Chains A and B, each alone.
Chain A
Amino acid sequence: MLVRDVMTVNVIAIGPEMPIRDVAALMEMRRVRHFPILEDDEQGEARLVGIVSDRDLRAVDSPHPSARPDVHVSDPVRSIMVTPVATAHPDDAAEDVAAWLREYRVGALPVLDGEQLVGIVSPPDLLAALALPAAIREPSSVLEVEVGNRPGCLAALLQTLAQHGLNVSQLTTTRAEPEIGCFIVRVNTIDAPRVAGNLTREGWTVLWPEPDAAPPASPQRGPEVEEVA
C-alpha cells in the first residue's frame, strides 16, 4: 500500500508571514493539527519551507517550559515553524511511513512529489489503511490455522479450502516464526467448526474455532448423549 493511496490530498498550506494568532484561528476553524508552510522561490514556484503543529502554536505566550520568551502571537509563524521538514513521497510504502512517524516523533508528514506539495499523511490516514486487511468483505467465518513456512504450504491450505467449495475473502498473518506461520482466513460458511474438523482430520493444526467431533456415521443421526441429571 502506497502513501498516495492513503494520504489526505485536500491539504491546507499557509505562508510564513501569517501571524501566529491567525494561524491558530485558522487551525481551529479547519480542525486540523498541521499546516505545511509554503514560500515562493526566485522562480515564483511554491516551495515547502516549514511545518507548524497545534502543539507549536499552543506553546506561544504560555507558561510552558519550552515557550520562547521572545516570540508572541503577533509574530509571523516563520519564527516558530519547524524546518527542515521531514517529508514522504507518494510512492513510499504506507507501512514505512507508520514507522517514520514513531521514529521522528511527529504527527504528520507532508507528501512531496519532486518539489510539489501533493498531500499530507497522518496517523488516522494510516490507521484506516492498515486496518483494511481486517475489514469484513462478505459474510464469513474466521479460521486460524498454522501453516509451515515452506514453499507450497499456504497454497496447500488454500487448495484444501477450495476443494471444500469455500471462498476465501480475507487472509492475514498474525504470527511468523522461522518454521511456522499462523494465518487468519475468512471463509464463506456459517459452519466453521465443520471446516476446522475437516482440516484437522487432514492433518492441519487449527487454532480457532474448536473443530467439530468426528463426522456422524449417518447424517441423520448426530452423536447425542443425554447428560445424567
Chain B
Amino acid sequence: MTRPRTLLVDDPVLERSPFGSSHPFRAERGALTRALLEACGALHQDEVADVERLDERLLGAVHEQAYLEALIRAGRGERVDDARTFGLGTSDCPVVPGMHRVAMRAADATVSAAELVASGAAQRAVHLTGGLHHAHRARASGFCLVNDLALAIEHLTRRRGLRVAYVDVDVHHGDGVQGIFWERADVLTVSVHQSGRTLFPGTGAEDEIGAGAGRGFAVNLPLAPFIDDAGYLAAFDALVPTALSAFGPDVIVLQAGADAHWRDPLAQLSLSGDGLDAVYGRVIDLAERCCEGRMVVTGGGGYDAWRSVPRAWARLWARLAERELPDELPETWRRAWGERLGVSLPTRLREGTLPDLDARATERAASHALAVAKRVAARLTPLWRRED
C-alpha cells in the first residue's frame, strides 16, 4: 500500500513571530515540531515544499483595502492614526516593525498548501504556523493579522471551483473565518470551541448559523469549561460527521489548534494529548470518507508551547503522513532545541501526567455538550438538505 502524498510547507521566515520574541504567540512551534519529526525520521527532505508568493488580488478579496493599508503602514513604522479601530497597537496585536511581512508570508504558505492539494501535487498539505483564524476583514484580533485560512479557502473556492468544509478545533471560536464566509453556501464553517461565555472571542454561540445564501453553513459547537476527551468526542460525533457528509466537500481545511489541551494556559478545556490526537484522527477519517482524503491543514493556537504543542502536531503529521513515532523522543532534538529555547523539552511522546478532573464538572460539561450538538444538528439538518 502506498502512503498518501503529504507535504509540509515551510520557510525560514515562518519561525519568526510577527510580534517578536516576548509575545505569547510562539511561531517557533512549527520549527520545533518539524525538527522533532526530522529527528524521528518521520519527515524527509522531499516532503517539504517551498512557499509560493500569493496573488495580491486574493488579499483584496478577503481583507478590506483600508485595513491592509493600515497594516502595511504600521509594519513599516509609519504613523497610523486610527490603528486601534483596525485592532492594531493593542496588547494582543502590538505594532512591531516588519510584522506585515511575516503575516503575509504565513498567508502565502497556507495558500501554497491549498494549491498543492488543488493541483493534485499532494493529497494533504500542512502549514504549522498558519491557522490565524481571528483575523477579520478589517480588524486584527487575538494574535492574528492576516487570515491565511480565509485566503486559502477563497483560493480553493473562487480560483479552483471547489466546495470547502472548514473544520476548526482550536479552543477559541473561529470568528474571523466564520465572518468572512458568513453568507456563502459553498463554504461550510464548523467550529468546536470553548464557549464564548467563558472564553475569547465571545462569539460562536450555537444560534450563529450563517445568513442569506449561507444560512445553515456556519456550524458552532460551544463547550463548557473542563470537558474531557469522552465528552468532547461524543459531542463532536453527534454533529460534525452529519454536517460534513450532508455538505459533501471537495476538500477539508483543518485548523488544528492544540489549545484544547488541559495544560493550555489560555483556556479551560481538559483534553489529553491522546484526546487531541483522537480529534485530529476524526477529521482525517471524515476527509477520507467525504473527499478522498484531500486536506489542507494548519496549526493554530497552543500556548503550552514547548510541551503539549510539538507532541500534538508531531502526532498530527504522523497520522497525515502515516508514520510511526517512537514514544521516547530523540535526545538530539531535546538537547538542541532545549538549549535554543532555554526550556526543558518532553522526553516522551505520550504524556505521563493526566489532568486531575472534577468528575462532576466534566460530566455536566459532557451532558450539556451532547445536548447542544443534537440541538444544532436537528436545527440545521433541514437547511443542509435544501436543494437549489
Contact = CB atoms under 8 A, between A and B. Distances in A.
B90 interface: yes
A229 B348 CA distance: 8
A115 interface: no
Contact of A141 (B136, B199, B352, B353): B199
A221 B200 contact: no
B190 interface: no
B24 A191 contact: yes
Nearest to A209: B268
Contact of A192 (B87, B175, B200, B353): B200
A136 B196 contact: yes
B222 to A, nearest CB: 12
A21 to B, nearest CB: 34
Contact of B200 (A141, A227, A228): A141
Interface of B: 21-22, 24, 84, 87, 90-92, 134, 136, 139, 141-143, 172, 175, 196-203, 265-266, 268, 305-307, 341-348, 350-353
A33 interface: no
Contacts of A219: 21-22
**Helix, strand, loop or mixed for chain B's interface?**
loop
Contacts of A193: 265-266
Could you say which interface size class chain A belongs to? 20 to 34
A218 B172 contact: no
Contact of A220 (B91, B197, B342, B344): B342
A81 B232 CA distance: 53
Nearest to B175: A139
Contacts of A191: 24, 91-92, 266
Contacts of A186: 202
Nearest to A165: B91
Given A140-B201, A166-B91, A190 B266 contact: yes
A218 B307 CA distance: 18
A202 interface: no
Contacts of A205: none
A203 interface: no
Given A139-B202, A208-B198, A209-B268, 10 more contacts: A139-B203, A140-B200, A140-B201, A140-B202, A142-B197, A188-B91, A193-B265, A222-B343, A224-B343, A224-B344
